[in-house]
Amino acid sequence: MKNFFSAWLLFCLCNATAQNNTVKDILLFEDNFSSALNASNWLVEKQPADSELVAAKNGKLLIDTYGGATIWYKKELKGNIKITYTRKVIVNGGKNDRLSDLNQFWMATDPNGKMFSRHGGFAEYDSLNMYYAGMGGNYNKTTRFRKYNNGDKKIVAEYSDSLHLLQANKEYLIEITVLNGLVTFAVDGIVYFTWKDEQPFTHGYFGIRSTRSRQEIDDLKIYQLK
């Protein structure tokens, strides 16, 4: 079984490489968070308490919450895309510091037509259709890739070994790609998950997600792949 999975993964990577050799990256959007979050680009879902902080600070997007937050890029993405950004989970004695939940949603839509109507609680997003990757979930015990589809939260793949879990105060380069149904999530140039979805989501929204932690995001870029 292990040899089969390795061969399958190699096939996917070679196929992705062949496709990428002919793909052109067209920059759609970038943000280095050097100024306040622009409401025309970003929408924040969190609890209203002042202690729940989501803001551009010191040239980074800072998420410092207990109840959880999702920061949505407000423009719907379509077709083949690539999203890159750097991200760090800070553990240094802060009130919400916890090594867990470096999470992200992409190609998200609401079949009930209630997008952008939540308050940051993780279970509130169960009704969305989307892809989800969560590094270091369950108090840094699991790293999972899911497809949410009409209430089903299918775990496509997961890890529990230390190599795929979080390290405190380490800056990671995250890269998400959707290319002709091949969905890939890579960290520091290493592919964690790659999956050929036979019924792929071809449009939707991208969200940066966390809960009970303090995290920094920077150098975000979104590309159309042509």
What does the pLDDT average to over 201-210? 98
Name which of 44, 143, 150 is nearest 102 in CA terms. Answer: 143
Confidence band of 69 (pLDDT split at 50, 70, 90): very high
Tell me which DSSP letter residue 96 carries.
T
Q: Which residues contact 83 (CB under 8 A, 6 or more apart)?
A: 106, 174, 175, 176, 177, 206, 220, 221, 222, 223
Helix (H) or strand (E) segment spanning residue 150: none
Which of the four pLDDT bands, split at 50, 70 and 90, describes residue 22?
confident
Residue 5, pLDDT > 80, answer: no
Span 97-119, pLDDT tens digits = 999 999 999 999 999 999 999 99
pLDDT for the residue 173 = 98
Residues 6+ apart with CB under 8 A from 73: 29, 41, 42, 205, 206, 207, 222
Report the percent of the chain where pLDDT is more than 70: 91
Is the predicted pLDDT of residue 18 greater than 60, yes or no?
no
Closest by Cα among 197, 170, 169, 173 to 183: 197
Which segments of 68-177 does DSSP mark as H helices, in order? 137-140
Is residue 16 predicted with pLDDT exceeding 70? no
pLDDT at 4: 41
Whether residue 17 is predicted with pLDDT greater than 90 in this model: the reply is no
Q: What is the pLDDT of residue 21?
A: 60
Question: In angstroms, rounded to a whole number, what is the distance separating the alpha carbons of residues 105 and 184?
Answer: 13
pTM as predicted: 0.90
**Could you tell me which of 202, 198, 220 has the C-alpha nearest to residue 56?**
220
Q: Domains for the chain: give ranges and CATH numbers.
A: 25-225 (2.60.120.560)
**Residue 133 token pair:** 């990757």
pLDDT of residue 9: 52
In the predicted model, what is the mean pLDDT of residues 185-214?
A: 98
